[in-house]
Structure 1
Amino acid sequence: MRLYRGLARVFPRSFSAKLMTVVFIGVHVPLLVLLLWMVFSGRYQQEAMWAVVAVVFGATLIGTGMAMMALYRLMAPLRQAAEALEAYYDEQRLPHLPDLGHDEIGRLLRGINRSLHGVDAGLRDLRRSVLLDPLTQALNRRGCEQALADSARKAQSRLQPLTLFVVDLDNLKPINDAHGHLAGDQVLVRLVVSARQWLRPGDWIGRWGGDEFLLAVHDSHEVACARLREWLDRLAVPDDPADPPLSASAGAAGYRSGEDLRELYRRADTAMYRAKAAGGARLLCEDD
């Protein structure tokens, strides 16, 4: 490490320069020793001595240059590894470093590959645990807030319509009372699975809390409301006769460009409570 630290003071940014310095010194110190020996020993005639020195010096310069070029090429995997690490930490782009055998460089590249893929898998699991509801695997409240902000940005930048639905189950308590809380949990999972069958890429469902869910649909307000009403009808007639029918009240509000997202939620939530007060099992929009 002392040699490395010493050369780092001279070449702080280039490992190639450090290696080439070592090669240059290793080749030319013996030549300098030979030259001094020839000068002080007097065993060679002066003209012959200088001819020998010139030939040897020229040959070593050429050899040193070729060695430096080879070293630079041999260091390509190290440069690739450094670029891969920077790309992952800057852009979260996983590397695909080549398998170069079982020497030190090969083991280093395999270690970087394994480490970064392991780190990335751990981060994905962490994000899922932070943003997903553990029971239904829908977005949790924090995930809903983040997804709603992303949907609003997309709606504003791409001029895509966005409708937010607040959906609340009407009959979860009777199901819990009649069949137990495990059956109630299965009902919540079933609701999410059913919603994902008709939601399109870019749309999402999240569990806001308890038996209240948010759905965001990037479609015209009329079409989005029609799709949600069809879904509520399907929930009321389960595919499996053993499953209890589900009744849900829903409220809808269309996103207005630049609107505060808390106001968007408030409008949809108010419409949902109006639907529940009207007897439930229906969707009401703020204009209904």
Structure 2
Amino acid sequence: MRRQSLALYENLSGLLSRCSYAGKLLAVALLGGSLPLIAVLIYVHSTDMMEGILWQTLIVAALSMIIGVALSAYGISKLTTPIALCAQALRDYVDEGRAPALPTGHGDLVGRLMRETQRTIELLEERRRSLTAKAMYDFLTGAFNRRAGAERLQTDTERAARHGGGYTLAFIDLDNLKQLNDRYGHHFGDLCLIRLVDTIRADMRKGDWVARWGGDEFVLLLWDVNANAAAEVLVRLGNAFTKEPLTTETGELVSLRMSAGACQHQLGWQDDTVLRYADAALFEAKRNGGGGVVTSDGSRHRHWPSETTNKSPSES
């Protein structure tokens, strides 16, 4: 059925392969509009009525038809503009990801075409953004996932090399997550992870970001912050995280702790270098019982006490 309905279009496309769609419409209009004039010419020729006022009438009719064809060509070219806009909108979206703003208030066939084209592209864009979000973010905590975090870290490392800026990268670990899961259930463990990310986000600035690196480990990048300032931030986060216990389903209050290891990026370092040193600093914090903050410069570790003590940082 659909094939039959395209027969005229396909036949014209074969005959007028180099004509635009507007040209094909004009050919149909020209053929239909010129039939009366052609019939009169044939009749006149067959009856030898070629003199006098009839000739003048035929000339006027022919000129009128030419003018009408010109006006029709102009009108058809303008009326087919919405079709061209739809084609261009689809091409721009596919090639450049640019969403159009087609008019959607017209009720005729071409108006419906523009409306449906606009609606289709908007739906595609919505689904694309949804898929992008799923590909970038951890579904539980809303932090970047590891892949997105690794890409962002590479970008920030390259930016630091180009512009001379810097950052400190920290591994943050939720202490005793396995024991919490075993005792209170995985749902409670999930709530602990969500609380940890919420606590981190509450202290983040523009340019900072957090990513779930795996299990109970998160990576926090603090842009344009040195190791000492980062340690103060991490100590503050640890105290804020511990300060507010989480309530279990049975009403029990459970105090939570986090450990952190951080390393300040140095010019010339690759992103895997700062990751390795920060991970080693986290291991040192966990080895000392957890709940602490350790920074590393690649050769030595510095232990930072919590704000509740008056101790000075110590090195190892």
TM-score w.r.t. the length of structure 1 is 0.87
Q: Which deviations, in whole Å up to 9, do the C-alpha atoms of 1:106-147 show, x marking residues without a partner?
A: 222221222222222222222232332222222222222233
Residue 152 (structure 1) aligned with residue 157 (structure 2)? yes
| Partner Cα separation in structure 2 for residue 169 and residue 215 of structure 1 | 13
CA 1:8/1:228 → structure 2, altered by over 3 Å: closer, same or farther?
A: farther
Q: The residue matched to 2:13 in structure 1 has which SS? A: helix
Identify the residue that residue 278 of structure 1 maps to in structure 2. Answer: 288
Identify the residue that residue 252 of structure 1 maps to in structure 2. Answer: 262
CA contact (8 A) 2:138 2:145 kept: yes
Question: Which structure dedicates a bigger proportion of its chain to helix?
Answer: 1
Structure 1 unaligned blocks of 5 or more: none
1:41 aligned to 21, 38, 47, which one? Answer: 47
CA contact (8 A) 2:100 2:118 kept: yes
One-letter identity of the residue aligned with 1:139: F
Q: Which deviations, in whole Å up to 9, do the C-alpha atoms of 1:130-176 show, x marking residues without a partner?
A: 33222222222222223323333444455442322111122323433
Alignment of 1:1-288 (within 5 A): 1-9=6-14, 10-11=16-17, 14-45=20-51, 47-222=52-227, 223-238=229-244, 244-257=254-267, 259-287=269-297, 288=302
CA contact (8 A) 1:169 1:249 kept: yes
Offset of 1:188 from its aligned partner? 0.2
Offset of 1:209 from its aligned partner? 0.9
| Partner Cα separation in structure 2 for residue 30 and residue 152 of structure 1 | 77
CA 1:165/1:83 → structure 2, altered by over 3 Å: closer, same or farther?
A: same
CA contact (8 A) 1:132 1:143 kept: yes
Moved more, 152-161 or 91-100: 152-161
Q: The residue matched to 2:254 in structure 1 has which SS? A: coil
How many aligned residue pairs are there? 287
CA 1:153/1:89 → structure 2, altered by over 3 Å: closer, same or farther?
A: farther
**How well do the aligned residues superpose, as a CA RMSD in angstroms?**
2.6
Q: Which has the higher contact order (CA 8 A, sep 6+)?
A: 1
CA 1:246/1:69 → structure 2, altered by over 3 Å: closer, same or farther?
A: same
One-letter identity of the residue aligned with 2:101: H
Identify the residue that residue 3 of structure 2 maps to in structure 1. Answer: none
| Partner Cα separation in structure 1 for residue 233 and residue 19 of structure 2 | 60
One-letter identity of the residue aligned with 1:123: R
Moved more, 206-215 or 115-124: 115-124
Moved more, 118-127 or 145-154: 145-154
Structure 2 unaligned blocks of 5 or more: 1-5, 303-316
Offset of 1:77 from its aligned partner? 1.8
| Partner Cα separation in structure 2 for residue 39 and residue 95 of structure 1 | 56
Q: The residue matched to 1:115 in structure 2 has which SS? A: helix
Q: Which deviations, in whole Å up to 9, do the C-alpha atoms of 1:14-33 show, x marking residues without a partner?
A: 32222223233333344333
CA 1:163/1:40 → structure 2, altered by over 3 Å: closer, same or farther?
A: farther
TM-score w.r.t. the length of structure 2 is 0.80
CA contact (8 A) 1:11 1:18 kept: no
Offset of 1:93 from its aligned partner? 2.4
One-letter identity of the residue aligned with 1:264: V
One-letter identity of the residue aligned with 2:294: L
One-letter identity of the residue aligned with 2:33: V
CA contact (8 A) 2:210 2:220 kept: yes
| Partner Cα separation in structure 2 for residue 153 and residue 52 of structure 1 | 81
| Partner Cα separation in structure 1 for residue 246 and residue 215 of structure 2 | 24
CA 1:33/1:161 → structure 2, altered by over 3 Å: closer, same or farther?
A: farther
Moved more, 69-78 or 169-178: 169-178
